[in-house]
Amino acid sequence: MNKKARVLLITPNLKGIADGVNRIQPSLSLMLIAPILEKNGHKVKIYDAALVKQT
């Protein structure tokens, strides 16, 4: 039995250097993992908390 999953990969909003500037590059590791999961039939979404406006 080959059960397919819905997968949510999450990158937290991490602070970059000491002055509090957030990182601006996407998570390379998640971008490498996602296509492998998709190739195996899974539905994948990436949530990057650094791109979400804080209220």
Element spanning 30, H or E:
helix 28-39
Would you give the end-to-end CA distance of the chain in angstroms?
A: 45
Per-residue pLDDT of the chain (55 residues; tens, 9 = 90+): 578 999 999 987 766 555 555 556 667 888 999 999 999 999 999 988 777 766 6
- Give me the residue spans of the domains in the chain: 1-11+24-55
Q: What Å distances lie between residue 52 and 4, 13, 18, 41, 49, CA to CA?
A: 28, 9, 21, 28, 5
pTM for this prediction: 0.69
What number of residues does the chain have? Answer: 55
Instruction: Work out the mean pLDDT of the chain and round it to a whole number.
Output: 80
